[in-house]
Every structure is written in structure tokens, then in C-alpha cells.
Amino acid sequence: MRKTAVVLASILAVLAAFGLGTQSAAAAANPSIITVTSTAGVTCTVSATSVRANVGDVLTLHAADRSIVANVDGSFVTVPGGGSTGVSFQTLGVHTIEVCPQPLTVTVNIVSEPVDAPAVHDDIQQVGVPVSGDCVDVDPAVGHYVGAPIGGWSKSWAWWINDGKGGPVCTRELAERSDGTIVLVG
């Protein structure tokens, strides 16, 4: 009986040392990106107010138009306008991110069970052209895969838009490298 307990403890120690058995390799923050949009630096909106993730998962904060300062559990992070930065949490439990003058609060729940990430299932992504008519304005949360770069959209034409009549779309091509990194092609 004691020998079995020692063997079991040894196996668990090896699994823990390599991070195995504690979370899925496909785990990721869900959603993986929070877009903050501000109007004249006074009124803000966020793309989501609740995130579920595992310890160490990266959550991307994206400032759509103006620079923002985010209070992440008491530490301040500056995100330049049109830019992004990643934040992660190293302990289980509920964490907060506050943005803008109001402030708006995003609740980040770090859990021990795996949080599945969407998989890259198409190399070519296409979305309708934003109201502005410029593909630069495609919301980063639209069709965004965990680990994929933000942006890279250009105008193209597709048959599927406008009830199958065709028209302009924003398109980009992604590729997944052998190390799991997702990159823009072209």
C-alpha cells in the first residue's frame, strides 16, 4: 500500500513539474481580447465585462481609438491608442481591470478547470466592411482567434455577402506555425 502511494505521489509530482494535468494546452482567456472605445476621453465602452481564464493565460487589452490607462488589480498599465497590451494573472480567484474615468470594470475570473480557446479553423477570414468603409476599423474582437495578431485586414470581394449577391468585404489570411504561433500571411 505504501509503495503504491509513493508511486502515485511521484507521478503527480512529475505531472505538476511539467504543468500537465492542471490545464489543457488549448486553454485561453475567454474572451481573449477586450476592446476599449472612448469618446473624447470621457465616455468609454468595453467589448466585454466578464472574462474567464486559467492562471497565466494572456488577456489582450486593445485601445480602439485613444490611449487608455487600465488599473489591473492595483497596477496601472498604459495602452496607446490603436495599440494593445497583454495582461495575465498568476493566482486563482476574481480579479478586476478598471478602465476610463467612470470607471468601467471588467471582472476576470481565474479558474482551475480548463477554459477552451477557439481554434484556428480557416486560414482565410472575411468579414463585412465596417460602416466607416475602411478595413482598418474592423473590431479586433470580430473573428479574433486567441494568439492571432490584431489587424491585417484589406478590402476584397466575396460572393457570400449581401444575401449571396456579392460585394466588398475585409479579408486576411492567417497561418499557424509548427510552434503554434499564429501569423498574418502576405
Would you write out the chain's pLDDT as a tens digit for each of its 186 residues? 444 433 334 433 333 333 333 333 444 788 888 888 876 656 788 888 888 888 998 888 888 888 888 899 989 999 888 888 889 999 999 999 998 877 788 989 999 988 866 555 557 888 899 999 999 888 887 766 667 788 889 999 999 898 889 999 999 988 777 666 777 886
CA distance 111 to 167: 43
Paired strand residues for 158: 167
pLDDT at residue 68, as a whole number: 86
pLDDT at 23: 35
Residues 106 and 171 in one domain: no
Q: Is residue 133 part of a domain?
A: yes
My answer on whether 84 and 140 are in the same domain is no
Report the pLDDT value the prediction gives residue 5, as an integer from 0 to 100. 39
CA 97 – CA 76 distance, rounded (Å): 9
Strand 75-79 vs strand 93-99: parallel, antiparallel, or unpaired?
Answer: unpaired
Same domain, 100 and 131: no
Domain check: are 148 and 98 in the same one?
A: no
Looking up cell 479579408 gives: 171
Round to whole Å and give the CA distance between 164 and 158.
9
Greatest C-alpha distance within the chain: 72
Whose CA is closest to 39, among 86, 81, 77, 9? Answer: 81
Helix (H, G, I), strand (E, B) or coil at 165: coil
Are residues 140 and 85 both part of a single domain? no
Both 43 and 107 in a single domain? yes
> What is the residue range of 75's domain?
33-111
Residue 174 included in any domain: yes
C-alpha neighbours within 13 Å on the C-beta side of residue 5: 2
Q: Cα(147)–Cα(180) distance, rounded to whole angstroms? A: 9
Same domain, 38 and 90: yes
* pTM (2 d.p.): 0.59
CA dist., res. 174 & res. 164, Å (int): 24
Q: What is the pLDDT of residue 178?
A: 63
First-to-last alpha carbon distance for the chain, in angstroms, is 61
